[in-house]
Amino acid sequence: MSLPSVIIVGCGFGGLWAAEGLRRAPAAVTVIDRTNHHLFTPLLYQVATAGLSAPSISAPIRHILERQKNATVLLGEVREIVPQQRHVVLEDRTTVAYDYLVVASGSINHYFGHDDWAPFAPGLKTLDEALDIRARVLTAFERAEREADAAKRSAWLTFVVIGGGATGVELAGTLAEIARHTLKGEFRRVDPTRARVVLVEGTDRVLPPYTPALSEKARLQLERLGVTVWLGKRVTGVDAGGVALGAERLEAKTVIWAAGITSSPLGRPLGAPLDRAGRVQVEPDLSVPGHPEIFVVGDLAAVPGVPGVAPAAKQMGRHAAANIVRSLKKQATREFKYKDYGQLATIGRNAAVAMFGKLELSGYPAWLMWLLAHIYFLINFRNRLAVMIDWAWSYWTYNRGARIILKGPS
């Protein structure tokens, strides 16, 4: 008799923790991901801003799971889920059958019905996108150095980040640091320290999940780093030349999208109700209503009171695995309970905000906490060491180790 099969779709934090939670389960686990690596997404903005190399924040999934002998890793893209037949369909039309399914396919960039903006304002969800943003940012300074026309030069030296959530704040703060410190003195015709970094946010404060007092502290830290923060401004258009905000217009050759994500489309075929963000409204045990053999974890799962952050995805992944183990033993599944360890957002050098229950921190103490937490959580020792060296180096020298544009001028 063959072992019951578990398919895990997606190997982000939710999927990887689900796989590891099944390491002693009497089951054949198959992990399917579109890429060959697990990505430490909280540091993706560092790859986009040339502080870290791509391999420093990623590890091959099959290397992580090498010793877990009940796990098979497949590089592939799940295009469909057919709950009635209990199989998934891959991009080459092959099907893979399951007894249990964990859907951990996460979220994707969302342009609120303006997909035509995407080519001019890349988002930051994958390594490819991070390297695209890195090339755009570095190339913009290069183009400015070659540009004779003052207005065009100024557009090359204007960087707009749309969206004042954690990603937008990190990107804007780091871009200002690059312009003011890293590139200082390296150009002969333009002054990179006069580059303009504008963070545009539609609501009346940055970092909405934090308290209004911390949001204000974050805004002040951003301004101190050299970021211009525009609150309460709605983007109404993005094109090759800049950003429209109602009647206003910002001439900018580099625009980054950090304003919205939506759920992976793989929530739809599950037949369960979705919330407005496209997330699957799961049962308290994280299973899909009517399908006790399917679990949804991470950003794709809508669980009241649980934010879309890495620690929540890990906890859900681990919990879904435990429920599968209980189900295999014919035991009742258990309700998921989120444990909130607090929230941290970095803004730039020595600048961050943190919230641990009622305790609020900002500035250097919050930044130090963020630094230690992220080094600690980086998945394997090698990466941790490489990241520490990269960071120590760039902290002291303001230099950034990954300032490599991989494509020539387009």
Show which residues are catalytic: 170
Taking each helix axis from N to C end, the angle separating 13-21 and 310-328, rounded to the nearest 10 degrees, works out to 30
Q: How many CB atoms lie within 10 A of CB 155?
A: 21
Q: Which of 196, 164, 166, 165 has the alpha carbon at shortest distance from 180?
A: 196
Pair 38, 83: CB distance under 8 Å: no
The least distance separating a copy of itself from the CB of residue 406, rounded to whole angstroms, comes to 6
Task: Please give the biggest Cα pair distance in the chain.
Answer: 74
The least distance separating a copy of itself from the CB of residue 52, rounded to whole angstroms, comes to 9
Classify residue 87 by burial, with Cβ atoms within 10 Å: 0-12, 13-18, 19+: middle
SS3 state of residue 115: helix
Which is nearer to a copy of itself, 139 or 263 (by Cβ)?
139
Which is nearer to a copy of itself, 4 or 307 (by Cβ)?
4
The least distance separating a copy of itself from the CB of residue 139, rounded to whole angstroms, comes to 7
Which is nearer to a copy of itself, 376 or 381 (by Cβ)?
381
The least distance separating a copy of itself from the CB of residue 12, rounded to whole angstroms, comes to 14
Alpha carbons 353 and 369: distance in angstroms, whole number: 10
The least distance separating a copy of itself from the CB of residue 13, rounded to whole angstroms, comes to 18
Classify residue 270 by burial, with Cβ atoms within 10 Å: 0-12, 13-18, 19+: buried
b/e sequence 283-314, b meaning 16+ C-beta within 10 Å: bebbbbeebebbbbbbbbbbbeebebbbbbbb
Which is nearer to a copy of itself, 148 or 247 (by Cβ)?
148
Distances (CA, A) of 395 to 177, 392, 401: 11, 5, 11
The least distance separating a copy of itself from the CB of residue 244, rounded to whole angstroms, comes to 27
Which is nearer to a copy of itself, 127 or 320 (by Cβ)?
127
Pair 281, 303: CB distance under 8 Å: no
Q: Which of 197, 214, 303, 327 has the alpha carbon at shortest distance from 256?
A: 197
Which is nearer to a copy of itself, 185 or 273 (by Cβ)?
185
The least distance separating a copy of itself from the CB of residue 35, rounded to whole angstroms, comes to 6
Classify residue 9 by burial, with Cβ atoms within 10 Å: 0-12, 13-18, 19+: buried
Phi, psi of 254 (to 5 degrees): -125, 115
Pair 162, 169: CB distance under 8 Å: no
Which is nearer to a copy of itself, 377 or 393 (by Cβ)?
393
Residues of this chain that interact with a copy of itself (CB under 8 A) are 34-37, 53-56, 58, 60, 62-63, 66, 72-77, 91, 94, 127-128, 131, 138-139, 142-143, 145-146, 185-189, 382, 385-386, 389-390, 393, 399, 401-409
